[in-house]
Structure 1
Amino acid sequence: MAATLTVWKFADESGADGAVSTLKELTQQDLIKVHDAATVSWPIDAKKPKTRQLNNLAAAGAMSGTFWGMLFGLLFFVPLLGAAVGAATGALTGMLADVGIDDDFIDNVRQQVTPGTSALFVMTSEGVRDRVREAFAGSHAELIHTNLSREDEAALREAFSEEE
């Protein structure tokens, strides 16, 4: 089964950390397989967000910190510094597009993950959807990206929009 990249936004800077605890419990119960994950927490008064790869959740063969570093650098830290950087950024975005990370993804995340918010970036497979949905009910997370099918994405959006 192919891995799914999903990005969840939380309305406060600590929401993603709370979701990590839930994700860890689901992993320990074998209800989802986490290939890799990272969080972004952006304090309201900070110029840049804090990022963290969740090595303790990742399965063997997880992506390196370099992947997350490049992705988060592209999303939050890379200003337009000239043609050389532009060319390198273009090559990087071309490579990432192959795994579902394209210009729309980058723009969407940049617009939504802002000071005072947090986000959970997670690559998963083999999730028991109903149990995962139950575990996250009431977390008030907003799905801002997934490479799931439209039907699966709609089901996730519906599940996470329900209030306790």
Structure 2
Amino acid sequence: MTTLTVWKFDSPAGAQEALNKLIELSKQHLVQINDAAIVSWEEGKKKPKTHNYGSMTGQAALSGAFWGMLFGLIFFVPFFGMAVGAVTGALTGKFADYGINDNFIKEVREQVTEGTSALFVMTSGAVQDRVAEAFKGVSAQLIESNLTSEQEAQLIEDFGG
């Protein structure tokens, strides 16, 4: 099963540090990174910076279009208000088809704020106890949305990288 996980860190650099650790774990075959993206929000900035890393082992599972739409929905739509209400409704409905529901979007929006960062990562095949051990002592909040195999297939079909 593929897991779409968002890890929120209390510093703008925390997500990059976590991704570096995940890359090391993937080299040990303890987790497969299917795709990854980072949001880093410096203090005093109006909006966060985003970066799509793709897969650590080859072609990304998802394209930049997916990450762009997801990040736009989470972080930028609130700035535009009702002017984009109909489009927002259609997008959130489509993301729900992929297992990314309104609660997931709302929770990420509320938790990832100025002075923080977030690692968005699609993984599979994790050796849970070994990955958990590697992240022991790391201060992060976890927001998780497990994807069914059907949702994963649809997501890759629609947004494959």
Q: TM-score range by the shorter chain?
A: 0.7 to 0.9
Is residue 10–residue 115 contact of structure 2 (8 Å, CA) maintained in 1?
A: yes
1:15-164 matched pairs, under 5 angstroms: 15-55=14-54, 57=56, 59-78=58-77, 79-82=80-83, 85-147=84-146
- Identify if the C-alpha distance between structure 1 residues 139 and 99 changes in structure 2 by more than 3 Å, giving closer, same or farther: same
In structure 2, the gaps of 5 or more residues are: 148-161
Q: CA RMSD in A?
A: 1.6
Q: Tell me the TM-score normalized by structure 2.
A: 0.84
Over residues 101-149 of structure 1, what are the superposed CA-to-partner deviations in whole Å (9 max), with x where a residue is unaligned? 111111111111000011111111100111111111111111123328x
CA distance in 1, matches of 2:89, 2:99: 15
- Identify if the C-alpha distance between structure 1 residues 124 and 59 changes in structure 2 by more than 3 Å, giving closer, same or farther: farther
Could you tell me which amino acid in structure 1 is paired with residue 91 of structure 2? L
Is residue 5–residue 121 contact of structure 2 (8 Å, CA) maintained in 1?
A: yes
Percent identical: 58
- Identify if the C-alpha distance between structure 1 residues 12 and 61 changes in structure 2 by more than 3 Å, giving closer, same or farther: closer
Is residue 36–residue 58 contact of structure 1 (8 Å, CA) maintained in 2?
A: no
Structure 1 residue 71 displacement after superposition = 0.3
Q: Tell me the TM-score normalized by structure 1.
A: 0.83
- Identify if the C-alpha distance between structure 1 residues 86 and 58 changes in structure 2 by more than 3 Å, giving closer, same or farther: farther
